[in-house]
Amino acid sequence: MNKKVLIVGGVAGGASAAARLRRLDESVEIIMFERDEYISFANCGLPYYIGETIKEREKLIVQTPESMKSRFNIDVRINSEVIGLDTAKKVATVKKKDNSIYEEPYDYVVLAPGAKAMKPPIEGINSQRILTLRNIPDTDQIKAYVDNEKTKSAVVIGGGFVGVEMAENLKHRGLEVTIVEAAPHVLAPFDTDIVGAVEKELTDRGVKLILNDGVKSFKELEDSVEINLNSGKALTADLVILAIGVIPDTGFLKNSGIQLGTKGHILVDEFLTTNAENVYAVGDAIEVVDFVNKQATTIPLAGPANKQARIAADNIAGLKTTYKGTQGTSILKVFGLTAASTGNNERTLNRLNIPYKTITIHPASHASYYPGGFMMTLKLIFNEEGKILGAQGVGSDGVDKRIDVIATVIRLGGTVTDLTELELCYAPPYSSAKDPVNMAGYVAENVLTDRVSNLPVEQFMKYDREDKILLDVRTEKEYNGGHLEGALNIPVDSLRERLGELDKTKEILEYCQIGLRGYVGSRFLTQNGYQVKNLTGGYKSFLMSPLNPACVAPVETTEKYIVDPDTQVVKTNGGEETSDYQKSHSDCGKCSE
């Protein structure tokens, strides 16, 4: 007798499970239920269609009921919502568009209901001008507002991935855009010292940011919405996008006997089976294991959903495949910047009391003497044994491949030493002989072997400076362009002949521009009997930090290179144009660790 498999929901999880199962077993009967008419679409592309980077709506549609039937012989039932599941009788209850209800028996079920936008009970939240983005109908509704020439302004509530992507695309359409975020910073997966660059890019491009403030109420006006914040501030906008997070769409499982987590996520084992016989679950609606810290968590991403779908199909077909956890590798475009992360950030590790170390570097995206390179920032998080716990990056070019490489090493259980040994492709237009990933490994290895004592920005700035020497080892010109208050300037190349100016009885707090010269200076000083703490990532990390309390020169004049947002030409502060970083070659991080 042939198996009968019901798949609840489409998109990444459901559609992938159906296609994989058919490829494995031609005889199985597969029925897919989708509550609306779109079973498989590029939900990550929806903001870019609204912003008209993606111009053709049909390009968002990955599969249709007709294509799934013709290629995979799958019975796709659109406008059909599964409203209940009797796991004892092995029957699903389905409501059709005309509100008629019927029961469908099964041998196996794959639950892929996904997650829906969070919509808390805030006064006025049901205004027709307050919209969420989850599917194609939502996209059509938002785009209709944006296409209307009367829509001039928008407020995005929530600074997560969807909120930031929507803000960028609404700005592309010419709207005045404000992001309201209740947390101190946007983009929770990124630590404070990395996300500052993203926030600066947003504000530089004209997006207003209101942080540490939440919504108290909404008020419908004649042709706009008033947003009243907890701080007492009031905003007015023609359109509001609600992007404060998602919750699992699992209400229909309330009386099914299937175990749910405290926030409604479906609990599954390593085979993605629930506690109910022959019932599997995948995607945004399930609780997963964090690959790094091994704790239960929820990470709603398309990549893991697709992988889980494949594994669930494998197990229905008898292949016994396991899911080993989610590490949360993610990336987004923010105007001219790319921000990417993998693994755990500092907040997660601190919450779980997991000890760690960090290093930050600012390498060039490719060989600094080849035109068109851009500086990026890479942060590596690791433990005493050198095992990599996480990484974050931000920059104009090359960030994606570096975080992907580190994500791969994490997945394989690698260490910082593995990063130093990776043989990555090199030619001047693409990288340096020592790739930024290698450089991150070298710097981390130096920390672990006590060749240098690095302090992150926050610790460096809060470090007790009484009876300490604050030493700036950059050039005099760089020092005059901006420095930490109270710093003594001795360029690294002059340290040997000016060593007598430093009191050996005092600890030295040292920094350079991006960390390289600080390391060189630290090695020289420690071998001459000095105690040295070095600022990881150098003055550049300080400039990116929200601390930034004591610049002698204004922050905006201390950047040696500025990227013109329109032409992407790199300029010096004096206006002189250059297409690369060769003028700062001595500190680009290419020549030595």
Alpha carbons within 13 angstroms on the beta-carbon side of residue 399 total: 29
User: How high is the pLDDT of residue 10?
Assistant: 87
User: How high is the pLDDT of residue 11?
Assistant: 85
Tell me how far apart the alpha carbons of residues 355 and 334 are, in angstroms, rounded to a whole number.
31
Please identify, in words, the CATH class of the domain defined by 454-559.
alpha beta
The domain segmentation of the chain, as residue ranges, is: 4-115+247-316, 130-244, 336-447, 454-559
Give the burial class of 220: count Cβ atoms within 10 A of its Cβ; 0-12 exposed, 13-18 middle, 19 or more buried.
middle
Full-model pTM: 0.89
Q: What is the pLDDT of residues 107-166, one digit of tens each?
A: 999 999 999 999 999 999 999 999 999 999 999 999 999 999 999 999 999 999 999 999
User: How high is the pLDDT of residue 537?
Assistant: 93
User: How high is the pLDDT of residue 558?
Assistant: 33
How far are the Cα atoms of 191, 214, 316, 392 from residue 546, in angstroms, in the given order? 11, 20, 51, 17
In the annotation, is 44 catalytic? yes
Alpha carbons within 13 angstroms on the beta-carbon side of residue 372 total: 6
pLDDT tens for the chain, 593 residues: list them.
789 999 999 888 999 999 999 999 999 999 999 998 898 888 899 999 999 999 999 999 988 899 999 999 999 999 999 999 999 999 999 999 999 999 999 999 999 999 999 999 999 999 999 999 999 999 999 999 999 999 999 999 999 999 999 999 999 999 999 999 999 999 999 999 999 999 999 999 999 999 999 999 999 999 999 999 999 999 999 999 999 999 999 999 999 999 999 999 999 999 999 999 999 999 999 999 999 999 999 999 999 999 999 999 999 999 999 999 999 999 999 999 999 999 999 999 999 999 999 999 999 999 989 999 999 999 999 999 999 999 999 999 999 999 999 999 999 999 999 999 999 999 999 999 999 999 999 999 999 999 999 999 888 888 998 999 999 999 999 999 999 989 999 999 999 999 999 999 999 999 999 999 999 999 999 999 999 999 999 999 988 877 664 333 333 333 333 333 333 333 333 333 333 322 333 333 333 33
Parallel, antiparallel, or unpaired for β 507-511 and 246-248? Answer: unpaired
The secondary structure of the chain in percent helix, strand, coil, rounded to multiples of 5, reads 30, 25, 45
User: How high is the pLDDT of residue 549?
Assistant: 47
Tell me how far apart the alpha carbons of residues 388 and 390 are, in angstroms, rounded to a whole number.
6
Tell me how far apart the alpha carbons of residues 317 and 253 are, in angstroms, rounded to a whole number.
25
User: How high is the pLDDT of residue 444?
Assistant: 97
17 near 279, Cβ under 8 Å? no
The active-site residue out of 44, 425, 512, 588 is 44
Parallel, antiparallel, or unpaired for β 239-242 and 80-86? Answer: unpaired
336 near 396, Cβ under 8 Å? yes
User: How high is the pLDDT of residue 562?
Assistant: 36
User: How high is the pLDDT of residue 543?
Assistant: 86
Q: Do domains 130-244 and 336-447 have the same CATH topology?
A: yes
504 near 530, Cβ under 8 Å? yes
Going by CATH, does the domain composed of 336-447 fall within 3.50.50.60? yes
**Interacting residues of 138 by C-beta distance below 8 A, sequence separation 6+:** 46, 131, 132
User: Quick one: CATH architecture of 130-244?
Assistant: 3-Layer(bba) Sandwich (3.50)
Tell me how far apart the alpha carbons of residues 545 and 547 are, in angstroms, rounded to a whole number.
5
User: How high is the pLDDT of residue 458?
Assistant: 86
Q: What is the pLDDT of residues 465-497, one digit of tens each?
A: 899 999 999 999 999 999 998 999 999 999 999
Tokens 């609600």 locate to: 242
Quote the CATH superfamily of domain 4-115+247-316.
FAD/NAD(P)-binding domain (3.50.50.60)
